[in-house]
Amino acid sequence: MTDTKKIAEVLYDAVNEHGLLSTLYSVFGPRISFSLPLTAKSCDTSLDDMEFSVRASNALKRAGMFQIRQIVDVINQGELPRIRNLGKKTENEIGTRLLVFGYCHLTPAEQKAFLQDLVERNLV
């Protein structure tokens, strides 16, 4: 077993015990790089199902985004900061909610693979 795989296994156990956000924050700090695989079904999820704050929800809807797929596209294009009335705090909220949502929709094997990729991106 590789070192990153061992670390990912420990992280997986910690996430199950302490939660995703607190585990990632305690290990990597506030700035991490990740690539979260989202299924087609999860990308079709409505913006209303994400329980964003009113500010985030209103700004995204005004920008014509109503599904997760559209938000992910805007983030990948680096256009999220250009949305009107979307400050840094709201951008962080959107990223955090997408991370938690996406992680929760992965199988345990996919969660471990995600965590291994996260380790490789941030610690190696």
Domains in the chain, ordered, with CATH?
A: 1-34+108-124 (no CATH), 38-105 (1.10.150.20)
Closest CA to 37 of 97, 106, 120: 106
Closest CA to 73 of 116, 64, 31: 64
pLDDT above 80: residue 56: yes
What pLDDT sits at residue 35?
83
Q: What angle do CA 45, 47, 49 make, to 5 degrees?
A: 70
Across 31-55, average pLDDT: 88
pTM score, two decimals? 0.85
pLDDT above 90: residue 61: yes
Q: pLDDT class for 1, splitting at 50, 70, 90?
A: low
Q: Read off the tokens for 26.
A: 């305690």
pLDDT above 90: residue 52: yes
Across 27-51, average pLDDT: 86
Tell me: the pLDDT tens digits for 86-123? 899 999 999 999 999 999 989 999 999 999 999 998 87
pLDDT: is 30 or 92 the higher one? 92
The number of residues in the chain equals: 124
Q: pLDDT class for 36, splitting at 50, 70, 90?
A: confident
pLDDT above 80: residue 23: yes
CA 73 to chain centre: 13
DSSP secondary structure letters along the chain: --HHHHHHHHHHHHHHHH-HHHHHHHHH-S---------HHHHT-BGGGG---HHHHHHHHHTT--BHHHHHHHHHTT-GGGSTT--HHHHHHHHHHHHHHHHHTS-HHHHHHHHHHHHHHHT-
